[in-house]
Chain A
Amino acid sequence: MRYEGFAVSERGYQHILNNTICQDSSQYIQTKDCTVACVADGHGSKQYFRSNRGSQFASEIACRKVLEFIRTVSFPFENAESENKSVMQLIHSIITEWHIAVRNDVIKNPFTREELDKVPEKYFSEFDIFSEEKSGSYTDEERRKIIQDKNTHIPKTYGTTLIVFGVHENYAIGLHIGDGKCVALYKDGSMDEPVPWDENCHLNRCTSICDSNASEEFRYYIWHGERLPVAVFAGTDGIDDTFANMLHTFYRNVALDFLHNDFRDSVDIFQKKLADISKAGSHDDVSVAGIINISELYGIETKLKNITKLESVEKQQNQLIEKINELNFKLDKLRRISSNENTSEKTDAYEVKIKTLEKELESCKENLSLAEKNISNLKKIINEDEETLKESPVNDTEDIKDIEVTEITENTESAEIIENTESTESAETTDSTESAKITDSTESVEITDSTENAETTDSTESVETTDSTENSENSETDVTAEEWEDDDN
């Protein structure tokens, strides 16, 4: 097995304070030859009152469907059209089965009075039939027929986002609806978010699996060949909002922490950090799922550490540029104010201020110059590292240089750039250059469109499946979806 999987969720800090439930879910499935993982973030507004279950159904169904897909559908596809057709069938099957799971849940668990109070008045009659109070008035079959035949707004109450990805032999696939981010890490140490972003997701607005046009709102990406990732991570927006532009650095550090220790122990330690992450960051529910090729990760450990150092110095550079711009803004302003001032007393006071700011500006410029040198130095080291990787097998890391970056302070007197080329500890890796097996088999995956009595049970034999929601209490998030009214149009 090349890829290890994990999935963790934790109730958000704000929801702990409010004593509200967690609507995030996450799950992974790991078999002998496949690994699939996903996160889902149930919507938070009050009328999405069953979104915790919606996200759980989405996680279970998506993991299972993607596992079926990657086991049965071989890469490469005949052409782009056939690829799109196959993936769209997969997407449709996930959406269809999610709706079936929602219907079954409504039949099994009628709406309580408390839940009905959250339903917008104009949709109340659609929900009332499925209330506890009316449970004696209809049989389960009658209810099932009503909910199947009528285009109700009931699924909206289960609305959720979804990111699911899986890897098998020579390709990996990622599907995404709504917000959250899916980040891939590659053999050259680079990271990206290849699943196209949905411009309809902005701040607390996003698309949802409960939308009437959900199949059009799903995006996907297929990795293959040399760009088959070393790791893929997905996080709900509670993670994105916490780390913003530091998201890649966060995932890089998560990946590095999975080295040098038992994988499952590392997952447990990571899980325990999630509560603090939510508290210090977004306060929202947080979920992360990932698949990692540990042996390949060993081979780029030093490079990843150097890239993290580079990013840290780039951040310092960024802050210094910002500070210099602000100082220039203040100085220009003060010079203008001073020149218009008539009293010498005030002019003198402005001159003192100007001199102080000029000194500060000079110091910042020196620091900036130092940061730029450090960046150049680190880039050189990282490029040398790349050359070494090209020339040597992945497991040969003993000549890769590490670097210690000069600490940049406000006062830069006698600051020096220190280049520490100490060799890093040798990393134990395996050769990952085994040739990818490509088959021509294009047998299509079986898509279940049956809307009758489908249960969302996991049928995959002897697989390791973990639903991380058992660790999280239920709470409320702030994600939103297509307005209920839209279905009326």
Chain B
Amino acid sequence: MPQVKDLQLKSQRFRAEREADWRRLEALLTKAETRSASTLTDDELLAIPVLYRSALSALSVARATSLDHSLTDYLESLATRGYFFVYGARASLGERIGGFFYRTWPTAVRGLWRETLISFLITAGAVLVGYLLVTGDPGWYDALMPSGLGQGRDFTASTEDLRKVLYASGDKHMLAALAGYLFQNNAQIAIYSFALGFAFCVPTVLLLAQNGLTLGALFALYGSRGLGFELGGWIFIHGVTELFAIILGGAAGFRIGWRVAFPGSGSRMEAAAAAGRAAAPVVAGVVLMLVCAGLLEGFARQLIQVDWQRYAIALTTLLIWLGYFYTPRRGRPL
């Protein structure tokens, strides 16, 4: 009777020959993961891809020839770790940030120009509607103005009180707190209008429209007292930046909602993922724009009390943003 007796299986020899390499790769990966890739020497950095590819081929061989389950499990985990290291992000934080400002952000904003236009038109339309409604019937004012935002500015207030709000220099040390609060509030709104775009754009439209209606109602109130021009200075000194940021946040939401609703030739999943990646840098940038808006609102507006200076700053910021986003960049498009 033939006997099955083989003291050294091929799979055992296979493992014995390569084990040292695997252990070395494992040690290097652990070092890179627990500390950072920059702690690796040049030799180690060059060794990882080579060791990774040999581990990968060992995995294929082990799957086909070895029945040691713990070995294939180990190689799968090792190859996966190696894969994420070798094909993971390589750029340093500085390069990433530089690249973001130089190319990623403006390119992403340019890519959303259609959505930005729609977003702008919705806001502008809502401002107009809000203005006409309140001018026609002041009763609309209370309906359009959220109670928190009114801050005592309504049709019962005297013209003098309304004027005072526009030129209040404020309690100087509370300005910082105000700026911080406004920024945090607006940034949350911008993130919502992006995130909610997922629900087929509907919440994004609502957020933008509400924002516009409020603004329109405010203009109607001040316009009825002949303070429209002054209110413009008060709003636009920071509002150009803030409204632009909210419009861009809305545009990002529209892109996602639209692609989820009408995915085109690909699958809904792929379309949503592509739209999400295209729109995400815009929203990251929007948060930064709102930092600027918060600073302008908290400080510049309280410190600058002359209307034409306020308008000058508003115009300057508008030109800066438009120039930054829409002047073409050299280099390869992303």
Task: Report if A and B associate in a common complex.
Answer: no
